[in-house]
Amino acid sequence: MSTAGLDRRTRRRQETIEEILEVAIELMETEGVAALSLSAVARRLGMQPPSLYQYFPSKMAIYDALFQRGAELVLAVQREAVATASEDEDVLERGLNAFCRWCLEHPVYSQLLFWRTIPGFEPSPAAFAPSMESVEDLRQHLQEAVDAGRLHPDAAGEEAIALFTSMTAGLLSQQIANQPDASFEDGRFIRLLPVVLEMFYQRYAPTRG
């Protein structure tokens, strides 16, 4: 988040919040997503645990802020990929590749965003809003493909969106679970992404039914 235009006190507070979130991500990478400790965050930052509550009232509040941050980041990555697509590129494929690449490069965020790894955690409406925007972007791209005659009208419906997200999330789950250190190019499971996309296209071919 940019701090330009903020007064010095507000800017310093925002910078501290960003530092807290960065440290939280680092600790989650080494200790596990669900094992985050406010005391450990405070120690890493050189502050007393009660001081941390001036910025986040609870551990769940940190998770919520990280959820929103991750959702905003991956949304921006997808939109940038689509915006820079050439005329002959498949917008759905380009956006999906950018999404999966980002998820593999940021496994902590991916666990927080797409798997229920933290007992009792539910993102707030504000934190979840960017994820809803991602779904609406997907719906728009599918509808554009329908309007162009490349997909059946059902492809922009709720069932199709559920299938599309389930198939891609399944590949990501397999990849992160079985080859967490593999790259987007080399991963055994993520390499099947074009196959999954082709299966979706066949399912919702214009002549379906």
CATH number at residue 196: 1.10.357.10
Which tokens belong to 104? 């593999």
Residues 17 and 71 in one domain: no
Amino acid 10: pLDDT: 85
> Would residue 134 count as lying in a domain?
yes
CATH number for position 26: 1.10.10.60
Low-confidence ranges of the chain (pLDDT < 50): none
Residues 97 and 186 in one domain: yes
Amino acid 49: pLDDT: 84
Amino acid 1: pLDDT: 56
> Would residue 62 count as lying in a domain?
no
Which tokens belong to 102? 């980002």
In which domain, by residue range, is 122 found? 67-203
List Cβ neighbours of 129 (8 Å cut-off, separation of 6 or more). 68, 71
Amino acid 192: pLDDT: 95
Amino acid 5: pLDDT: 56
Amino acid 11: pLDDT: 85
d(CA 173, CA 21): 24
Residues 83 and 42 in one domain: no
Residues 123 and 88 in one domain: yes
Residues 32 and 115 in one domain: no
Q: CB-side exposure of 124: number of CA atoms within 13 Å?
A: 11
Residues 45 and 115 in one domain: no
pLDDT, tens digit, 9 for 90 and up, residues 5-42: 567 888 888 999 999 999 999 999 999 998 999 999 99
What's the domain count of the chain?
A: 2
Which one of 10, 31, 57 terminates a domain?
57
Residues 113 and 17 in one domain: no
Other CB atoms within 10 A of residue 70 CB: 24
Residues 7 and 109 in one domain: no
202 membership: H or E segment, kind and range: helix 193-203
Amino acid 7: pLDDT: 78
Residues 50 and 80 in one domain: no
Which one of 57, 81, 103 terminates a domain?
57
> Would residue 150 count as lying in a domain?
yes
> Would residue 80 count as lying in a domain?
yes
Residues 177 and 116 in one domain: yes
> Would residue 120 count as lying in a domain?
yes
Considering all CA atoms of the chain, what is the largest pairwise distance in Å, rounded to the nearest integer? 65
> Would residue 128 count as lying in a domain?
yes
Task: Say what percent of the chain tops pLDDT 90.
Answer: 78
Which one of 57, 81, 99 terminates a domain?
57
> Would residue 111 count as lying in a domain?
yes
Residues 46 and 78 in one domain: no
Residues 105 and 6 in one domain: no
> Would residue 73 count as lying in a domain?
yes
